[in-house]
Amino acid sequence: MKGNKIFKYLIIFVILILIILLIVLLSIRRKSSEENNFEEESFKEEEMAELEIDENIDEINQLNTFCMAEKIITEHLNPGNIFYASKIYFQETDIVVSYRLYVFGEIFDPVNKTDQNAFYAIDFDTTAGTYKITQQKTDIEQTEFEQIATTGDQRYVINENLTGEFLQEDITDNEKVKRYFEYYKMLILTNSEKAFSLLDEEYKTLRFVNYDNFNKYIQDNLTKLENMQFSKFEINYFDEYDQYVVYTSDEEYYIFSINDIMDFSVVLDQYIVDIPQFVSKYEASDVRVKVGLNINKFIMGINDKNYNYVFTLLADSFKNTNNLTTVADLENYLRNNFYDQNEVEFLVFSEQGSYYVYTLNLKDKNGTETKDLKIVMQLEEGTDFKMSFSF
CATH number for the domain that contains residue 318 = 3.10.450.100
For residues 190 and 200, give the distance between their C-alpha atoms in angstroms, rounded to a whole number.
20
Q: Are residues 231 and 197 in the same domain?
A: yes
The per-residue pLDDT for 42 is 45
H-helix or E-strand containing 131? Answer: strand 130-138
Its pTM surpasses 0.85: no
For residues 302 and 337, give the distance between their C-alpha atoms in angstroms, rounded to a whole number.
11
CB atoms closer than 10 angstroms to residue 59:
12
Q: Is residue 281 part of a domain?
A: no
Give the pLDDT confidence of 53-69 residue by residue, as tens digits: 566 899 999 999 999 99
Q: Are residues 385 and 296 in the same domain?
A: yes
Q: Are residues 108 and 197 in the same domain?
A: no
Residue 234's beta-bridge partner residues?
245
Q: Are residues 108 and 88 in the same domain?
A: yes
Q: Are residues 205 and 231 in the same domain?
A: yes
Q: Is residue 282 part of a domain?
A: no
Last residue of a domain, one of 165, 185, 217: 165
Task: Name residues of the chain where pLDDT drops below 50.
Answer: 1-2, 38-51
Q: Calculate helix-pair angle for 173-190, 63-75, nearest 10 degrees.
A: 50
State the maximum Cα–Cα separation within the chain, in Å, rounded to a whole number: 139
Q: Are residues 185 and 209 in the same domain?
A: yes
Q: Are residues 234 and 294 in the same domain?
A: no
The per-residue pLDDT for 25 is 62
Chain centroid to Cα 164, Å, comes to: 31
The per-residue pLDDT for 32 is 54
Q: Is residue 278 part of a domain?
A: no
Q: Are residues 237 and 300 in the same domain?
A: no
Share the mean pLDDT of the chain.
89
Pairing of strands 163-165, 130-138: antiparallel
Number of domains in the chain: 4
Contacts with 111 (C-beta within 8 Å, 6 or more apart), sequence order: 80
For residues 53 and 57, give the distance between their C-alpha atoms in angstroms, rounded to a whole number.
8
CB atoms closer than 10 angstroms to residue 318:
16
Pairing of strands 342-352, 82-94: unpaired
**Structural domain harbouring 101:** 57-165
Give the pLDDT confidence of 87-125 residue by residue, as tens digits: 999 998 877 689 999 999 999 999 999 999 999 999 999
